Amino acid sequence: MTDPKEIADLALTVVASTAAAATMPHSVTPSIYPPSLDGSPLAFFAALFATSLLSALSLSQILTHISEANREAALVRRFGDRLVGRRIQSFWTASSLYRWKLSCLYLTIFLGAAGDALVLLLWHETTGATMEWLLLIDRAMDGATIVPFLAAFALASWTEQAIPALLSYPEPKPVRPPKWDRIRDHVRIGVLLTLIAAGVTLGKAYA
């Protein structure tokens, strides 16, 4: 005859397994932190902070490039060439190609890091079906990085001689370190993401 205590233990095991399967992907072992991080809060914090910072700073630079190009074009259209001191730059000029090259590289970084950051942020916080979709989106974004990277590589190959020649003609000019006003917002982003990553890590550990 089966022991009632064994039946109760088996029932509890089945209930726990069902609940875990409802909140985590079927192919992933339920845990507070992703299995790839070996259950380490420090590794989770480092991964979440790094991917979040890469995503935020790269997106910030992409938006900055777009904003600067649109602002310059708007000023030229409204007030003429004299206001900005030079004519509007077409796509084929060295400065525009350089801006596009950097934007493509930043987009490559963003696509590679944003999906990972989202998966880490929502790990063990959502349903299994939703997490499976997030993992699928993450893999798709990783695959999409090839497009902006190849574009940046092509632009770099195209301008690898022109841009250094222009920067050194008629003679190389030193570049001063950036002022605090220029990097202040980026530092604030880093501090904010550090606090968020630490809060999420501690929240998962003591939930």
CB 111 within 8 A of CB 144: yes
pLDDT at 8 over 70: no
Q: Residue range 161-188: average pLDDT?
A: 74
Q: Which helix (H) or strand (E) holds 166?
A: helix 162-167
Q: d(Cα 189, Cα 150) in Å, to the nearest integer? A: 29
Task: Assess if residue 19 is contained within a domain.
Answer: no
Q: What percent of the chain has pLDDT over 70?
A: 71
Please indicate, yes or no, if residue 20 is contained in any of the structural domains.
no
Residue 18 lies in a domain: no
Q: What pLDDT score does 65 carry?
A: 86
Q: Is residue 111 part of a domain?
A: yes
pLDDT, residue 54, reads 95
Query: What was the pLDDT predicted at 70?
Result: 80
Query: Would residue 43 count as lying in a domain?
Result: yes
What pTM does this model have?
Answer: 0.73
CA–CA distance, 111 with 142 (Å, rounded to integer): 6
Tokens encoding 115: 């999906």
Q: Is residue 10 part of a domain?
A: no
Amino acid at 110: F
* pLDDT exceeds cutoff 80 at 58: yes
Domain that residue 197 falls in: 38-167+177-205
H-type alpha helices, 80-145:
81-84, 94-122, 128-144
pLDDT band, very low/low/confident/very high, at 17 (cuts 50, 70, 90): very low
**178 sits in which H/E element:** none
Q: Has residue 68 been placed in a domain?
A: yes
d(CA 177, CA 175): 7
- Residue 145 counted as domain residue: yes
- Separation between Cα atoms, residue 131 and residue 30, nearest integer Å: 12
Count of domains in the chain? Answer: 1
Cβ neighbours around 116 below 10 Å, total: 20
pLDDT tens-digit map of 26-48: 455 557 888 888 778 899 999 99
How many Å apart are CA 136 and CA 99, to the nearest integer? 31
pLDDT, tens digit, for every residue of 169-181?
666 666 677 788 8
Residue 2 in this model has a pLDDT that exceeds 90? no
Calculate the CA 198 to chain-centre distance: 18
Task: Classify 38 in phi/psi space as left (phi over 0), alpha (psi -120 to 50) or beta.
Answer: left
CA distance 95 to 118: 34
